Structure 1
Amino acid sequence: MLKEALSEIQRGSAEIIDEQRIEKLLKAYFEKGETYTVKAGFDPTAPDLHLGHTVLLQKLALFQKYGARVQFLIGDFTAQIGDPSGKSATRKTLSALDILENAKSYKEQVFKILDESKTDVVFNSEWINALGAAGMLTLTTTFNVARMLERDDFDKRYKNGTSISISEFIYPLLQGYDSVHLMSDIEIGGTDQKFNLLMGRHLQRAYEVGKEQAVLMMPILEGLDGVHKMSKSLGNYIGVTEEPYEMFGKILSVCDELMWRYYELLSAKTLTDIEALKSGVKDGTLHPKKVKEELALEITARFHSSSAAQAAKDEFDRVHSNNQIPTEIEEFSSHEAISITKALVDCHLTPSTSQARRDIKQGAVRINQEKIDNEALQLESGEYILQVGKRKFAKLKVN
């Protein structure tokens, strides 16, 4: 059992620091029933989580399976500073109201994956506000500027003459202090968080809490393009609050190579099960599309329900296999004739008229299921089914 647990915990990880400590904690759980704590911090900088965030949540859920109590830390204080990790400029600060609303949204979403009975949701403003000026000054004496500038993103900005605020130096100290206050046994985060995660070990040692947390880093999940980090700003994301049909369709759109990456980092299937699927695809007994559908069903069911996932698949098959129109389409109206490029923007099918023109040139736009190539087309009175690509539909009534 211990060997299996270690294998599953190692699965997909980019780097583990002090793996022996993790093994010791697992052994104590299996032999004595002793629990331990695993911390992961999330700055509530946006209201919605996407599948990139859930890579960490899946790992936290796995630790819960093997005896851990999760410390789901919402960085309501640190979010006001902004994590400098991987940033080439100082981030804009968020208002307290935005942070509060985003934090509320996070709590509603994470328990689709985590076991609420084994999770402590904590806010770091509770202990950082209590530090006061004296405590903050003491914290800054635990690390020096030279060491801070060894950090890759700080080093680049310093050499380029780009501004670095003092608050950005303090951010990793505050994240590390979270581990001091919570006395975390393990902390997990993305590979871009390595400096901050190691700061937790350093400060636990400096404050003599009697332990040094192990660190597990997960890789950054690629978005639908298979190249860049999943990001809402890049438009290559799958949001956990998206409708079942949209979520199912997006997962089904990933390339075959990326599919295995998603299986490894997002699926609850065991490594043995995934290897069996790979073998089936390799020897031709399984079609890649069927395997991808299985992944899409699993993930869609996780955030909605099994019935909703199956309904999404049925609708997807009906629309795409039989070249039909979805049964439910958002409706829009215009009180005057409208150009096709403006119509695509107004119906939320494309973000800009320039993108609309590109979509038309690429043959991705249809009206009433007929492909169009006229960028200057004007839509007069009537009803139109607008389509961009395979998944985006809208009904437009022009009066």
Structure 2
Amino acid sequence: MDRINNQNLESNPDLKNKIKEAIAELKRGSSDFIGIEYIESLIMRYYQSGQRFIVKAGFDPTAPDLHLGHTVLIQKLATFQRYGGDVKFLIGDFTATIGDPSGKNETRKQLTLKEVEKNAQTYKDQVFKILDPRYTEVCFNSTWINKLGVGGLVDLTSKFSVARMLERDDFEKRYKENRPISIIEFMYPLLQGYDSVVLNADIELGGNDQKFNLLVGRTLQRAYGLEKEQSVLTVPLLEGLDGVNKMSKSLGNYIGVTEKPHLMYAKILSISDDLMWKYYDLLSVKTIPQIQDLKNNVKENKLHPKIVKEELALEITTKYYNLEIALEAKKEFESVFSKDEIPSDIPKMDFKEGIWICELLKLANLCPSTSQARRDIQGGGVKINKQKIINENYKFELGEYIIQIGKRKFIKAVIK
């Protein structure tokens, strides 16, 4: 901030404290915070004059549904909205057809336009569970990239060197290993940076694997003559239910934003006590002092970690539904897992008489393979009508059966 702004702060301790609190909340759980002085000046201007600023984050609609790992970034956008940020929620409907190579060791499969459009619509439906619609504009980068034309693209590529592009870790690794890097992959960070130019972004947010791309945006804003250089904030990847790998649908360790409430509540309670605190930092709306109080109470044995985790599960489930539904989910969890009862809402599937249990478990998506189904049976993790089954060669006769694996997976099988 310039000298006048600093003088204003020194003469206004209340304003100084407000900005300090805002920065602490924005830094909470973040990985990189580049250009913090510019962010401070924007927040101060907002408090003094009400003038808002532009915060950008891009999402490639590569999958139809969001999970809690995606919402870490959206939560941070919502925090910026509280301190004067107008969010440009950018859906990369053009760049998604290229595929972002960040963190990848090989070229990514490109999506069709139809797939992108379908996934983009589900994103729009889901983000307003977190963001304030009054201060959010959903944008599609095809709007301006389609207008660039060949001349515009050539001009864009002239503003960044191949040497700079190869500084990115994944490109450098693949280049040294003589693995293919397509020219179109070089275009992805350039087009993402060009989005920042068009949107006149003051701040851009992304995952910590996106840092290079976000810095390209700063370079291009200078190259195109903007009288600003966007600040950059990155957030860490959120580990999934296994506590090891990042949350991912392909790994099955995710909690979906559209998950049924009783499953959402139960899945949150299944995370480890240590991971719980990271979920609090990245997903909860509780303030830093409130979370610290919870940590202190657990450390001093004034609160059991399970109680604190239940509070987190209730908060997150309420966010995506409402308090009444969340309390029902809590009640059902206690009924199912404490009293060994059956959930009230479980999927129903039809199968043919004589089907092998391992095949049924695979077809019902309760197990990824028949081999895993065998292991689950051998480990005592499979129940039929509340009774453990140990016969891995079991075949079903006519009738209806409630099949359970572990504490959260249920299905009603109708054998015809």
**2:388 aligned with 1:371:** yes
Give the secondary structure class of the aligned counterpart of 1:8.
helix
2:263 — aligned with what?
246
1:216 to 210, 233, 254: 233
**2:85 aligned with 1:63:** no
2:65 — aligned with what?
48
AA matched with 2:211: K
1:234 to 240, 244, 251: 251
**2:209 aligned with 1:192:** yes
Distance in 1 (alpha carbons) for counterparts of 2:78 and 2:94: 25
- Structure 2: any 5+ residue segments left out of the alignment? 1-17
- Structure 1: any 5+ residue segments left out of the alignment? none
> Where does structure 1 differ by over 3 angstroms across 4 or more consecutive aligned residues?
none
CA RMSD of aligned residues (A): 0.9
Distance in 2 (alpha carbons) for counterparts of 1:167 and 1:62: 34
Distance in 2 (alpha carbons) for counterparts of 1:90 and 1:262: 32
User: How much does 1:118 deviate?
Assistant: 0.4
Distance in 2 (alpha carbons) for counterparts of 1:114 and 1:206: 32
Distance in 1 (alpha carbons) for counterparts of 2:227 and 2:353: 72
1:178 — aligned with what?
195
Distance in 1 (alpha carbons) for counterparts of 2:233 and 2:175: 29
**What is the percentage of aligned positions where both structures have the same residue?**
61
| Partner deviation per Cα, 1:114-172 (whole Å, 9 max, x = no partner) | 00110011111111111110010000001111111111100110111111000001110
Q: How does 1:312-323 map onto structure 2 within 5 Å?
A: 312-323=329-340
Q: Size of the alignment, in residue pairs?
A: 399
Distance in 1 (alpha carbons) for counterparts of 2:343 and 2:187: 51
User: How much does 1:382 deviate?
Assistant: 2.6
Distance in 1 (alpha carbons) for counterparts of 2:400 and 2:262: 24
1:334 — aligned with what?
351
Give the secondary structure class of the aligned counterpart of 2:298.
helix
| Partner deviation per Cα, 1:330-375 (whole Å, 9 max, x = no partner) | 2222231111111212333222212211211221111111112221
User: How much does 1:381 deviate?
Assistant: 2.2
**2:322 aligned with 1:302:** no
1:225 to 232, 242, 255: 242
1:136 — aligned with what?
153
User: How much does 1:384 deviate?
Assistant: 1.6
1:272 to 286, 289, 294: 289
1:349 — aligned with what?
366
2:93 — aligned with what?
76
Q: How does 1:10-159 map onto structure 2 within 5 Å?
A: 10-159=27-176
Q: TM-score, normalised by structure 2?
A: 0.94
User: How much does 1:112 deviate?
Assistant: 0.2
Distance in 2 (alpha carbons) for counterparts of 1:186 and 1:352: 45
| Partner deviation per Cα, 1:307-332 (whole Å, 9 max, x = no partner) | 11111110010011111111222222
**2:211 aligned with 1:166:** no
Distance in 2 (alpha carbons) for counterparts of 1:36 and 1:335: 61
Distance in 1 (alpha carbons) for counterparts of 2:365 and 2:33: 43
